[in-house]
């Protein structure tokens, strides 16, 4: 018998919930309650359904917050790794009006043009090459060069440069996928010009290119010997220099002072071409400081052969990348790169300025202390090299809490302490760092 919301069974009294109490909320009602998450309503509907299906409608808010954190968003890079691959490498501010741009339209003739013309001519001028073209990253640049110029033929590479770098990019695998054949020469630690000469003499016309590969984050010290681009250029086949990290000119004419000491052994596009490289390939989002892209620059006939290859269309960049690269190239040409390209601003920041910022942050938050530290170029650029820096150090591991701030602050932990390296933080983001640190106290 039911008595006022309770029922009896053999003398026992058992509570029951009314239908309104036991019924879960509707999907639509729960989804609308998630509007403050900022997620589009269809995603909120998906989250509401998952929460209800799990028997835990109250978890919808947490589920929405978790999904929002899986989306791309601005963060503060306080790791001290200036070109942090996981954080998009070189920071780039993309600004473009919502108008069409002449990506493949020749304004002089009114006919269809090439998307390579505008940016290609700028990089050719910057690097001292006859021509240049752009693809979507440096791996694509290397792949295209090999496919266009060495398909079904050999490419001589030092064993010490047949490397694997980040993202499982392996020189032997790239060779295989391009249709070229890897010809190992020399030994892991010592490769001489005579090793290349012997390979070419043995295989003759089957050798299409020699290639010098930037080792990225791999380095051999000790009893070593390598063959320079200038030496390779004396051989009977073209040399391709994959310099990877994208230093335009070893003299860094866009800086007011001498080149940074940590760049001393970094190969540069301009000097590689001057030393006889037929083609140079490099990344747009490393030392160049631009968007993700791969640049191929050098001999006009070889660049043209790459542009004609069917892969070129599959690997071509879009208008946003080309516009950003154009702005980057123009900044180098007008010598404003040191102030307009964020990467070079980070590099040029004086130590005293970093100290002053750290002192101000500690004073504003009442936590941490200022300390010297070492920053890294990152992204495989200048392997094994660091640069002096300064920042804020906190006792304990606060990485998760800092990541959880509305604008995530990404630091690093060592020996049980949290490091906020200010060389990789834009000064305009110091306020974000301060607000995030205040949430820790």
The Cα–Cα gap between 307 and 389 comes to 43
The Cα–Cα gap between 123 and 394 comes to 44
How confident is the model at residue 375, as a pLDDT? Answer: 96
415 φψ region: left (φ > 0), alpha (ψ -120 to 50), beta (else): left
How confident is the model at residue 15, as a pLDDT? Answer: 38
The Cα–Cα gap between 267 and 250 comes to 7
Phi, then psi, of 193 in degrees rounded to 5: -60, -35
* Residue among 151, 306, 161 nearest 242 (CA): 161
3-class DSSP state for residue 249? coil
Specify the pTM. 0.90
* Both structure tokens of 253: 């004419």
The residue extents of the domains of the chain are: 2-68, 76-90+344-438, 117-340
Contact between 438 and 409 (Cβ < 8 Å)? no
CATH of domain 76-90+344-438: 3.90.1150.180
The Cα–Cα gap between 277 and 240 comes to 6
The CATH number fitting domain 117-340, selected from 3.40.50.720, 1.10.3720.10, 3.40.640.10, 3.60.150.10: 3.40.640.10
3-class DSSP state for residue 283? strand
The Cα–Cα gap between 149 and 249 comes to 26
pLDDT along the chain (441 residues), means of 10: 38 40 85 96 97 96 96 97 94 86 94 95 98 96 97 93 73 89 90 93 91 76 84 96 92 92 91 98 96 97 98 96 96 94 95 98 96 91 86 97 96 97 98 97 70
Q: Look at strands 207-213 and 181-185 and give their pairing.
A: unpaired
Contact between 207 and 199 (Cβ < 8 Å)? yes
* Both structure tokens of 321: 């990348």
Contact between 132 and 317 (Cβ < 8 Å)? no
Q: E strands of 180-317, at which residues?
A: 181-185, 207-213, 239-244, 279-283, 294-298
Q: Look at strands 412-414 and 207-213 and give their pairing.
A: unpaired
How confident is the model at residue 96, as a pLDDT? Answer: 79
* Both structure tokens of 299: 């001999």
Residue at token pair 């792949």? 143
* Residue among 394, 329, 330, 328 nearest 358 (CA): 394
Contact between 369 and 393 (Cβ < 8 Å)? yes
Residue at token pair 């310099």? 243
How confident is the model at residue 218, as a pLDDT? Answer: 65
Phi, then psi, of 388 in degrees rounded to 5: -65, 145
């Amino acid at each position: 018998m039911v008595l006022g919301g309770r029922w009896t069974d053999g003398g026992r009294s058992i509570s029951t919930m009314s239908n309104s109490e036991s019924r879960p909320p509707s999907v639509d009602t729960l989804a609308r309650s998630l509007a403050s998450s900022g997620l589009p309503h269809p995603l909120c509907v998906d989250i509401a359904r998952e929460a209800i299906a799990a028997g835990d409608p109250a978890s919808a808010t947490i589920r929405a917050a978790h999904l929002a954190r899986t989306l791309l968003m601005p963060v503060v890079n306080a790791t001290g790794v200036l070109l942090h691959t996981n954080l998009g490498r070189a920071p780039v501010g993309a600004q473009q009006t919502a108008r069409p741009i002449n990506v493949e339209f020749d304004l002089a003739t009114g006919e269809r043009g090439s998307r390579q013309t505008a940016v290609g001519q700028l990089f050719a001028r910057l690097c001292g090459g006859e021509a240049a073209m752009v693809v979507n990253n440096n791996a694509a640049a290397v792949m295209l060069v090999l496919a266009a110029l060495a398909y079904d033929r050999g490419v001589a590479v030092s064993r010490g440069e047949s490397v694997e770098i980040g993202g499982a990019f392996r020189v032997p695998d790239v060779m295989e996928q391009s249709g070229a054949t890897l010809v190992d020469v020399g030994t892991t630690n010592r490769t001489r010009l005579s090793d290349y000469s012997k390979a070419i003499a043995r295989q003759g016309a089957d050798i299409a290119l020699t290639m010098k590969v930037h080792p990225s984050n791999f380095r051999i010290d000790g009893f070593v010997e390598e063959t320079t681009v200038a030496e390779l250029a004396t051989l009977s086949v073209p040399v391709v220099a994959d310099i990877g990290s994208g230093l335009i000119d070893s003299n860094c004419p866009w800086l007011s002072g001498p080149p940074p000491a940590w760049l001393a052994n970094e190969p540069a596009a301009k000097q590689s071409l001057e030393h006889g490289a037929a083609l140079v390939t490099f990344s747009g989002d490393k030392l160049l400081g631009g968007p993700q892209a791969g640049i191929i620059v050098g001999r006009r006939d070889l660049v043209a052969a790459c542009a004609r290859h069917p892969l070129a269309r599959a690997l071509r960049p879009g208008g946003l990348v080309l516009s950003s690269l154009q702005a980057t190239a123009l900044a180098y040409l007008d010598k404003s790169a040191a102030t307009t390209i964020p990467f070079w601003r980070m590099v040029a920041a004086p130590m005293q300025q970093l100290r002053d910022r750290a002192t101000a942050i500690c004073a504003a938050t009442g936590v941490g202390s200022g300390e010297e530290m070492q920053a890294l170029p990152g992204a495989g650029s200048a392997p094994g090299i660091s640069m002096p820096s300064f920042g804020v150090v906190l006792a304990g591991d606060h990485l998760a809490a800092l990541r959880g701030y509305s604008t995530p602050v990404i630091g690093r932990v060592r020996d049980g302490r949290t490091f906020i390296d200010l060389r990789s933080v834009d000064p305009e983001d110091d306020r974000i760092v301060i607000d995030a640190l205040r949430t820790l106290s």
